[in-house]
């Protein structure tokens, strides 16, 4: 399946693969997106492209192992810069990815894949999975992954072929840690931003009390990962929720209804911030099909 043209399309596409992600556009301007999805047996694949930095956060589908190769040199996975030759594998239950450009992501059923690794005596591969370590790939390995992933999107790859390829990568790739300091804190900030999106906006001190963290530490992590301060990030989440509400074809809400729902008190400032964030005024928000 192909989805394109808006951030919500990416979320719909990942939803077809079992994700329940929340997306937040971090860079201003009109966004261009595209996502392709496919399955092969119990394995699933998608390629997502966004031309603005976006945050994707939410629970991983249960029972799956996920692997990601990022195509753009300025991508950011779980808070660390990832170049084109690094593939990441996660064992945590929460996805927290900021990136711009393209990303190739694949999934294998955890139970079946681990059983196959044991049958093949691939103990190093199991260690890599259990430690949630990333892999540093050489140029040929990176090209091979891209080639097989593209074949999967064309429905020209079997689940077994992909399992064997991933096994070889896990056995032979160079370990690389993937979760930087502050990831858990930022995941809590994202959760707070979404749960409080319709409440009276919190002050920075109130956010710090909710998270039990100092202002300087939180601000540094937020600016390093998202490229903006804490209050600006919270506003971006509220703006994104407003855009989702305005784009929903069945709501019938006016711009003022949505503005007040997400606690933007000043009509002119809301319109200006919305246009800066998304490239069009609230009243011009395209409706979802």
pLDDT in tens, 245-269: 999 888 889 999 999 999 999 999 9
Above 90 in pLDDT, residue 80? no
Between 104 and 138, the higher pLDDT residue = 104
Between 268 and 63, the higher pLDDT residue = 268
Domains and CATH numbers, the chain: 2-176 (2.60.120.10), 183-284 (1.10.10.60)
What share of the chain has pLDDT > 90, as a percent? Answer: 58
Contact (Cβ atoms closer than 8 angstroms) between residue 137 and residue 95: no
Above 90 in pLDDT, residue 87? no
pLDDT in tens, 127-165: 877 776 567 777 788 888 889 999 999 999 999 999 999
What share of the chain has pLDDT > 70, as a percent? Answer: 88
| Top-ranked range on mean pLDDT: pick from 70-84, 126-140, 178-192 | 178-192
pLDDT in tens, 206-243: 999 999 999 999 999 999 889 999 999 999 999 999 99
| Count of CB atoms situated within 10 Å of the CB of 66 | 20
- pTM, two decimals, is 0.86
Q: Which of 237, 244, 241, 236 is nearest to 286 (CA)?
A: 244
| Alpha carbons 232 and 27: distance in angstroms, whole number | 12
């Amino acid at each position: 399946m192909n989805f394109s043209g808006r951030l919500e399309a990416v979320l719909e596409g990942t939803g077809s693969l079992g994700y329940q992600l929340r997306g937040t556009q971090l860079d201003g301007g009109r966004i261009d997106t595209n996502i392709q999805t496919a399955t092969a047996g119990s394995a699933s694949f998608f390629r997502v492209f966004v031309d603005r930095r976006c945050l994707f956060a939410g629970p991983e589908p249960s029972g799956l192992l996920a692997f990601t190769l990022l195509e753009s040199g300025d991508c950011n996975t779980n808070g660390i810069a990832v170049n084109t030759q690094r593939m990441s594998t996660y064992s945590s239950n929460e996805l927290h990815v900021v990136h711009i450009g393209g990303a190739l992501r694949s999934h294998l059923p955890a139970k079946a894949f681990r059983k196959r690794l044991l049958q093949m005596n691939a103990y190093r591969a199991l260690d890599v999975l259990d430690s949630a370590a990333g892999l540093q790939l050489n140029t040929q390995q990176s090209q091979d992954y891209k080639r097989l992933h593209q074949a999967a999107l064309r429905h020209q790859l079997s689940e077994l072929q992909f399992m064997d390829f991933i096994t070889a990568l896990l056995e032979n790739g160079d370990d690389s840690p993937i979760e930087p300091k502050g990831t858990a804190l930022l995941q809590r900030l994202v959760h707070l931003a979404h749960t409080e999106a319709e409440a009276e906006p919190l002050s920075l001190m109130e956010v710090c009390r909710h998270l039990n963290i100092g202002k300087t530490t939180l601000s540094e992590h937020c600016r390093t990962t998202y490229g903006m301060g804490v209050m600006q990030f919270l506003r971006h989440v509220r703006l994104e929720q407003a855009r989702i509400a305005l784009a929903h074809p069945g709501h019938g809400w006016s711009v003022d209804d949505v503005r007040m729902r997400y606690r933007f008190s000043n009509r002119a400032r809301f319109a200006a911030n919305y246009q800066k964030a998304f490239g069009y005024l609230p009243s011009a928000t395209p409706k979802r099909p």
